[in-house]
Structure 1
Amino acid sequence: MHGVHEAGVPGVFGEVRDAGRTWRGACGVADVTTGRPVESGMRQRVGSITKTFTAAAVMRQAERGRVGLDAPIGDYLPRLVPGERGRRVTVRMLLNHTSGISDYLPYAFPSLRGMPAVPDVSPGSLDDNRFRRFRPAELIEMGLTAPPAGEPGGPAGVYSNTNYLLLGRLLEHLTGTTAEECITRDVIERAGLRHTEFPVGPHIKGPHSRMYEALYGLIDPPRDYSVYDMSWVGPAAALVSVMEDLNRFYGKLLAGEIVSRSSLEQMQRTVPVRALDGSTIDYGLGLQKVTTPGCGTFWGHEGTVWGAGTTSLTRADGGRQMSVAVNLIRWNKADSSGRPQPHPIDGALSSLYRQAMCGGQDAPAPA
């Protein structure tokens, strides 16, 4: 953690669990102006880690027979997803990003269109939308009217937040409550999480760090976006949590205590998915698979929102867990062609993850 801080991250904190032992640590500052130190128990906007919670809530509805994973989404939301697309896109395709539905983010944040290549990107949309209250339906419409990202049900997927906003509307249709209420009742409370919640309004309750967005060097010095209306992501990425809760959640999920063993097996069937940064990830139903040479297979998710990054991974046997948060994101400055370039933070974080996941400095780096 000291190496990550020295490389340029203001604050980093996390928790590692192994065979009944728990280590918590933090390094750096939560506020670069006051020097307030970062602490291991601080709350964090955990971004797309929210997707595992949403997927688990959908799986619990499937276990009750209220929804079929291979049923067309148009059977449940005919007005939102009408016509041929509603007939071809299934619930499973939304969960594993093989729906072919495009992400709405470039349309909700037009000044960011083109990321991660950044020659024409500017931070204007970040400030314009700080207190904007989006309706899920308008974001979904942006994604549905955009050019398709691919054919429904293809062998590979394209990561899209639109999929998970649709799953949020599906949960509302099935339960008669908001998606946030359903996920809280069926997943967060079931897991016994005490510091995990969907925010109400733009502020985070409880002790937390400021969250600094660099936007590939376009915001210099990085700007604090810890105060932000999270309606732009909702059940796709809005959760606030702590590292202890994340480890507890993924531990219980992989132990079959949140969804059934058969549901967990479904969640762990992966396809290659192109992530928002252009990389390819192994993605199941709301779960990412990470393979480490010599250290085993890990399951979990990573998440970023403006100014905050979080990674939570649990080894397949549940024996070792890692949850790490940073309060600076998109630190890689772009070259003259607009492509983000390597930064010392990259190697420092890789070293931290290696030790946290594998237990030693000499362990091979995760793939």
Structure 2
Amino acid sequence: MTHSEHTGREEIQRMLDRTVAEVDVPGIVAEIRDADGTWFGSAGVADIETGRPRQEGEHVHVGSAGKAFTAATVLALEAEGRLSIEDTVEKWLPGALDVNGYDGNKITIRHLLSNTGGLFITGLAPELTRRYATRSALAEHRFDIWTTDQLLELTVSQPPIHEPGTAFAYSNGGFYLAGMIIEKVTGNTYAEEVARTIVEPLGLTHTYVRPADETGYPQPHPRAYSGLFMKDGVDPTDITADNWESMFEEPGLPPLDTTEFNSSWAWSAGNVISTTSEMIKVFNAFASGSLLPSAQHREMWTMVSTEGGNWMPHSTYGLGVFGLDPAVTGGLRLRGMAGSMQGSHLFVMGTPDGERTIAVHTNTEFKSWQVLFQALQAQFGIPAVPGV
């Protein structure tokens, strides 16, 4: 159903309307699946120029929610006896980390998938920000295709920031390495293994790893709009985890249409196309344990603290997935997957049994954690989170 008289649906719709009005989001959708059935709501537009509204069944980029696909694929291979997440990187990719102070004998696959390997924050790599951080740079490089060799170079282009296993730091590089291990173990492409271990078993028909040369979306889809740019003249080498916010453009500039954009730089760190409906199906399978054997399901949801890790507040992280601290949810256990990139932000959250789930997508990148937490307040009745 697309309209509902159930208590709470109206509050979700108010949240959507408020987000468009207050958070500078062109369009937003929410899809809910729970004991009352399925509900879909939207606000804003899919296309700024035509005013076309958002609709059900749109194909969208899920960003770093794709990390959960990588983790689940690795865990499926472990269940098949083809690797262990305690294997070192050196075992499968000998010599790959013999640079810049890294040690592949100390970093395990578990470290890669939990963001605890000590790899620097790859999203701040000067080579990446040089290509995409300003409007003029993105216009020049928006169709660049990244190879796995280039992604490996990016992963180790800066020294480690801590010893493996001692802290959390959100890094795409660990998932690039995991994707390379998947290909080394199986002899298949990363996309083929995601299809074999996740897409086909779950009967998904609108979900796939985006090919390296693809720059658009299947129909239907919203236009993608980006307003997250550094000021012209910013030197990427000056950007740090502490000063990056001050480097951004002043608010109020018109967004840039980034619908036609090559996202091969994301690869196994998050280059999946899907729909909100199918992402709910994926999340419910991951959260409830219906896809992976029990041992691998427990590993996926064995959490570490994200304190000081430049990521979501009040959260813990598993293998490509996250949870919220029950202290801020009124004791309710909530699990999730989330991702943001140029022109797209998606999160899916729900209860561990997969019985109550919400998926939200905006056709612009991450703007504020308040979108997520206000959606959870509306759907699950959690308390307001201080500071968000």
TM-score, with length taken from structure 1? 0.87
For residue 290 of structure 1, report the CA deviation from its aligned partner.
1.7
Q: Percent of counterpart pairs with the same letter?
A: 29
SS of 2:31's partner is: strand
For residue 123 of structure 1, report the CA deviation from its aligned partner.
3.5
For residue 318 of structure 1, report the CA deviation from its aligned partner.
2.0
Against the structure 1 CA distance between its residues 103 and 348, is the aligned structure 2 distance closer, same or farther, given a 3 Å change threshold? closer
* 1:90-117, Cα deviation, whole Å (9 max, x unpaired): 010001011111233323323489xxxx
SS of 1:34's partner is: coil
Structure 2 CA distance for aligned equivalents of residues 347 and 75 of structure 1:
42
1:1-367 correspondence to structure 2 within 5 Å: 1-7=16-22, 8-19=24-35, 21-82=37-98, 85-105=103-123, 106-111=125-130, 122-154=134-166, 156-200=167-211, 201-215=214-228, 216-217=248-249, 220-273=253-306, 274-276=308-310, 279=313, 281-291=315-325, 292-294=328-330, 296-331=332-367, 347=370, 350-356=373-379, 358=380, 360=381, 363-365=382-384
The amino acid of 1:249's aligned partner reads: V
Structure 1 CA distance for aligned equivalents of residues 62 and 199 of structure 2:
14
For residue 365 of structure 1, report the CA deviation from its aligned partner.
3.0
For residue 349 of structure 1, report the CA deviation from its aligned partner.
5.3
Against the structure 1 CA distance between its residues 191 and 173, is the aligned structure 2 distance closer, same or farther, given a 3 Å change threshold? same
Structure 2 CA distance for aligned equivalents of residues 304 and 310 of structure 1:
6
Structure 2 CA distance for aligned equivalents of residues 225 and 265 of structure 1:
38
> Contact between 1:47 and 1:304, CA under 8 Å: does it hold in 2?
yes
Structure 2 CA distance for aligned equivalents of residues 159 and 131 of structure 1:
25
> Contact between 1:275 and 1:281, CA under 8 Å: does it hold in 2?
no
- Structure 1 residues 61-70 or 99-108, which shifts more? 99-108
What value does the CA root-mean-square deviation take over the aligned residues?
Answer: 2.3
Structure 2 CA distance for aligned equivalents of residues 347 and 60 of structure 1:
34
Structure 2 CA distance for aligned equivalents of residues 56 and 182 of structure 1:
10
For residue 225 of structure 1, report the CA deviation from its aligned partner.
1.0
- Structure 1 residues 64-73 or 278-287, which shifts more? 278-287
> Contact between 2:95 and 2:104, CA under 8 Å: does it hold in 1?
no
SS of 1:297's partner is: coil
SS of 1:231's partner is: coil
SS of 2:223's partner is: coil
Structure 2 CA distance for aligned equivalents of residues 306 and 64 of structure 1:
36
TM-score, with length taken from structure 2? 0.82
Structure 1 unaligned spans of 5+: 114-120, 332-344
Structure 2 CA distance for aligned equivalents of residues 349 and 258 of structure 1:
26
Structure 1 CA distance for aligned equivalents of residues 186 and 36 of structure 2:
37
Against the structure 1 CA distance between its residues 278 and 245, is the aligned structure 2 distance closer, same or farther, given a 3 Å change threshold? closer
Structure 2 CA distance for aligned equivalents of residues 20 and 330 of structure 1:
29
Against the structure 1 CA distance between its residues 349 and 138, is the aligned structure 2 distance closer, same or farther, given a 3 Å change threshold? closer
- Structure 1 residues 145-154 or 101-110, which shifts more? 101-110
> Contact between 2:207 and 2:275, CA under 8 Å: does it hold in 1?
yes
The amino acid of 2:155's aligned partner reads: G
Against the structure 1 CA distance between its residues 309 and 185, is the aligned structure 2 distance closer, same or farther, given a 3 Å change threshold? same
For residue 350 of structure 1, report the CA deviation from its aligned partner.
3.5
For residue 299 of structure 1, report the CA deviation from its aligned partner.
1.2
Structure 2 CA distance for aligned equivalents of residues 282 and 346 of structure 1:
15
> Contact between 1:168 and 1:179, CA under 8 Å: does it hold in 2?
yes
For residue 304 of structure 1, report the CA deviation from its aligned partner.
0.2
SS of 1:158's partner is: coil
Structure 2 CA distance for aligned equivalents of residues 147 and 127 of structure 1:
30
